[in-house]
Amino acid sequence: MEITLNGYYTLILATLVLLLGRFLVKRIKFLEDFNIPEPVAGGLVAAIVVYILNIVWGYSFNFHQGLQTATMLMFFASIGLSADFGRLKAGGSPLLIFTIIVSVFIILQDILGVAMASALGLDPLLGLVTGSIALTGGHGTAGAWGITLEEQYGVVGATTLGIAVATYGLVAGGIIGGPVARRLIKKLGLKPTADNPNPSDVEKLASEQSLYSTKHSEEEVHSNKEMFEKPDNIRLITASSTIESLALFAAALAFADLMTLVAQDTWFELPTFVWALAGGVILRNTLTMVFNFDMFDRAIDVIGNASLSLFLAMALLSLKLWQLTDLAGPVLIILLSQTVLMIGYAYFVTFKLMGKDYDAAVLSAGHCGFGMGATPTAIANMQAVTDRYLPSHKAFLIVPMVGAFFVDIVNATILQIFTKLPFM
């Protein structure tokens, strides 16, 4: 029996999934420790219920696709509207270097995924799903690209696989980040400040931090953390700022819709959500740089986070878990290989190129977090390290900016190039 739900009932179910997820995350320590998002926690339970209903009684559900697409596009528009390239100047050369390091890793992640998928007899496009789509990209990118791969490329189960891989990435990224940083810090000869503080170490690091802090205030670092890494914090927004921000979202989505039509069947044809992200970037930087417009980031952040939560809830409700049964073995092999790649890259490349110092070790832990999972996982990794050793203002300035929006722009560009390759 097939049951179709309109937009009202789809929205009601999505909000119930979010409430369930909030309850589970607060009650189950594992979910909280590994930063599993509330939509994922509640959505996976809902997907299992839908799976049981299908297997036992033959029920299948069709949810309102338009609402899911709209929330997805709003989420990616929010990334673009937050991507202020003026902040590149604030981060300085370390921000640029770290962005390049992350970009190279995304390419390696996709090469490994595609190569192993082909070797294991899977569609090479599924290699992208087990690469940067779901790992560096996270649940939002996994859901968006999953829909694109299913509808435009005929890859069955791409969305379901993407959500599963992204969930694995959150857990794996949270597990490996701390040990990698601790190993690197041990090489530097530093000891935990709580156990045996070393005055010379503290003095050395304090002098290094002060050079950075003269350029970047505590308030700026705190502001970045507040905006991007704590979606549940209260935002002081007004009705007028919300309306202004919604107008910007509408413009970004209109741009995405127009460009999707204009670029159809041309060499620069892109998924609509990529155009939404690009539209947000263009709007943001044109308004701020040319017209000196004061963007209300808090309202953009709230709308973007709410859109992502609703999109994930609806995407998880629509999962068809039975499509994963034949993929479990090969996908697990690929994911274990991706985990080894992340550990090796963070240890030997990220640490070395970011200066081989304490800040570089903390940045390596952060890279493990969003290279496998998401920016909140990266922040949790770094907090676990800095709570045990010393603060790292440099890491807490760079990682939120790269992980919150620059990495999504780079990832979308790289993925678009990969999908156009002749062997895909």
DSSP assignments along 15-68, one per residue: HHHHHHHHHHHHH-HHHHHTT--HHHHHHHHHHHHHHHHHHHH--EEE--HHHH
The identity of residue 305, as a single letter, is N
3-class DSSP state of 293: coil
Helix (H) and strand (E) counts for the chain? 19, 2
Q: Which residues of the chain have pLDDT under 50?
A: 194-231
Spatial separation of the C-alpha atoms in residues 160 and 320, rounded to whole Å: 6
Q: Which residues, other chains included, contact 99 with Cβ-Cβ below 8 Å and sequence gap of 6+?
A: 402, 406, 407, 410
CA dihedral sign, ordered 234, 236, 238, 242: negative
Write down the pLDDT at residue 214. Answer: 37
Q: How many CB atoms lie within 10 A of CB 150?
A: 15
Q: How many CB atoms lie within 10 A of CB 365?
A: 33
Q: What are phi and psi of 62, to 5 degrees?
A: -115, 120
Structure tokens at 273: 């959500």
Write down the pLDDT at residue 228. Answer: 42
Write down the pLDDT at residue 58. Answer: 83
CB 283 within 8 A of CB 81: yes
CB 365 within 8 A of CB 181: yes
Strand-pairing partners, residue 4, are 62
Write down the pLDDT at residue 145. Answer: 92
290 HSE (CA, 13 A, CB side): 6
Q: Which residues, other chains included, contact 371 with Cβ-Cβ below 8 Å and sequence gap of 6+?
A: 102, 105, 109, 135, 136, 173, 342, 345, 346
Spatial separation of the C-alpha atoms in residues 116 and 113, rounded to whole Å: 5
CB 281 within 8 A of CB 259: no
HEC readout, 392-415? CHHHHHHHHHHHHHHHHHHHHHHH
Q: How many CB atoms lie within 10 A of CB 231?
A: 17
CB 38 within 8 A of CB 18: yes
Spatial separation of the C-alpha atoms in residues 377 and 173, rounded to whole Å: 7
Write down the pLDDT at residue 315. Answer: 84
Write down the pLDDT at residue 202. Answer: 44
3-class DSSP state of 61: strand
Write down the pLDDT at residue 303. Answer: 92
